[in-house]
Amino acid sequence: MKALTPVFLVWLIALLLAPTNATADGMFVVPKFVWDKHKDINEPTQKAILVYDAGREDLILQVKYEGPVDEFGWLIPVPNLPTIRKGSMNCFYELSQYTQRNFGQQAGEIPMAGSLGRGDNEKPEPVKVIEVKTVGAYQIAVLSTQDSGALAKWLEVNRFYFPTNKTDALDAYVKQQWYFVAARIDLSASGGFRLLSPRQAQNELIPNYSAHLKLANGELNPLQISFASDRCVFPLKISSVNGQPSEVQVYVLSPEPLLEKSMFEEKQEELVRSDQERESKLEQSRRNLQALRVQMLEASLLPSAEAGKQLNSPPEVPAWDLLPYDAVTEKELPQCSKVIYRLKGKTWWLTKQTWTFQPTQMHDLEFQPAIPALVGKLKGTAGYFAAANLASLGTNGATALLSALDGTNSVARLNVASVLERINDPRLSGQLDRLLADPQPEVRAQAISAVMNHWNSGFTKELVGLLRDPYREIRHQTVLALERHRSEVSPYIPVFRQMLKDTNAAVRASGMEMLYQLQVPLPREQLLQFFKLPDREAISLVLAQLRNKNNSGMPAFINDGTGISDNEAIPLLRNADPLARLIGLKILYKNAEKQSVELAMLLLKDPEPAVRLRAARTLRALTGQHFTDKQADQWQKWWMANKTSFVVQVDPEELVPQPPDYRIDEITDRPRATPPENFPR
């Protein structure tokens, strides 16, 4: 007798879905579409099309198997008595092309020999063979049993090898009174199906090379199994008995979007980990860049005294990380509609998911309507991912998000706020007034961004009020939003002028920024008052206006300070923001006067190392002396002895940055490496 070898087992069950007429948003199209047939047709070990509606499921299954055809076996548990017919590969081709065009490139084995019978002299086991038939290239038997041990024995007698230590996988389905579809390739000479004894079957096997080739490439005709189902499950756990990983690709068609909860949670956790890793790398990059710029004395990244309160916004979820959904009709899927008659005359939600499971990861999957499942995730700290997916689900997703905004859970409201810009629903306009006054600053900030997409004149007053917000980011976003609608904002110019007299420095800065964006000129004396504010953005705008140039958005330190006298620069030299003091030093260098030297001397004892370093370099450039920033007393002694007869001698080479490894140590006040002997001081 031929030795028993592993059998190929596949267990795919249905998805439970409910009606909706919404259309999906958030899909992206590859500019030049080229169908990758191999990826969806030839690669997955198992692929399935699941159609569920009104308690009935159509399950179209296809597998890939590389090995002797006579050792191929397929066992499929289903929750109710099934009807089975030949499926069509055209559906898989059509869905593969459609999803690759609209979604992009995303989203165990036990052989057998012999026939499906009880054997010549075997005692009947309590396994009922309900139906035996030939479907395309397959021999099919539909089984029912109340005894997992008896089922295991039946499989053994019919040469479906099943590990004796893993019958608990069968028992889980037997206890639920599921049916089993046993299938294999039809190898009989006549092409028909006959119940034979193992000895008879062994003598009559005839290789079917065409079936073998199609099976190995995942293109043998699928099985279409229909049955009643009151829930959506994918009994994957039983596949773990194979001890092999499996790639499973599932297309789901249903009247409402559907997701598999555990896999969604796993993806969410993966994205959170990726976000954390990305943020950690970005933070390190920012630190490296800050160190580099400090080395080069580009001090724009030095801490701002005006930084104040900072907003904590959730990460952006890119489109390619969203679950893929689209609303389709028979127009988009004509081939599928010919095979799956229920697709005609309705709108269905299509999703495509591809997972690779290791045996230890295989567990029964449970599918559920996506919208309530996503809403349930909004209250978690990673709920921004759920919110982004809801925003892609059209009207129904927007309804859920807007409802969550009305709730009292602050975490959920923050997560919803993170996707306000993605909500393309006119109902959002009615809520933005309230959101602009929300007690949570992150909600206010996101509401301002959303206002730009849902503008109406009623927002103007609320936005003008936000120019007094305690968060600079919100004030700045407000300026940008108002600047887009100058005709409606112009009547508030007197309000902005009055803000310049406010006792709150931040309010004065916002008023000036607003007037600047509206191109309202201000007297020089009024602009110079902003040199006293520890607000580098306001200082940058003042410098741009004093030079009568439009603000290019470049850092303020690149301004050469032309036209600003030493006396006018004194407020900058006394400013609490170190960047302002550095700008003041640059103005002194440009002016190159005796008073410039006198004022630069005062910054040799500045608390900020970068400022002390720039002060010393500025002095060397103006005087031709070679004292360092560590020699403030020598500078003062030299100045007292020479200031009466001193004449400025400009040496711009003194301001050229020194090598990075030395400069970092010096600027950060760490124990510095010894500079090379020939290093110019």
Res. 214: pLDDT tops 70: yes
Instruction: Using pLDDT thresholds of 50, 70 and 90, give the confidence band for residue 549.
Output: very low
Q: What is the pLDDT of residues 393-411, one digit of tens each?
A: 989 999 999 999 988 899 9
Instruction: Using pLDDT thresholds of 50, 70 and 90, give the confidence band for residue 295.
Output: low
Return the minimum-mean-pLDDT range out of 106-120, 353-367, 511-525, 535-549. Answer: 106-120
117 vs 209, higher pLDDT: 209
In whole angstroms, what is the distance from residue 332 CA to residue 429 CA?
33
**Complete DSSP assignment for 24-60:** -------SS----HIIIIIS-SEEEEEEEETTEEEEE
315 vs 190, higher pLDDT: 315
Q: What is the pLDDT of residues 655-676, one digit of tens each?
A: 655 444 333 333 333 333 333 3
Highest-scoring range by mean pLDDT, 275-289, 512-526, 665-679: 512-526
In whole angstroms, what is the distance from residue 62 CA to residue 354 CA?
14
In percent, the amount of the chain with pLDDT more than 90 equals 39
User: What pLDDT was estimated at residue 575?
Assistant: 93
Q: What is the pLDDT of residues 143-181, one digit of tens each?
A: 999 998 888 888 778 777 677 777 788 888 899 999 999
Please, what sign has the CA dihedral across residues 384, 386, 391, 397? negative
Strand pairing report for 246-254 and 348-357: antiparallel
Amino acid 93 reads Y
Alpha carbon distances (Å) from 165 to 175, 360, 376? 18, 16, 39
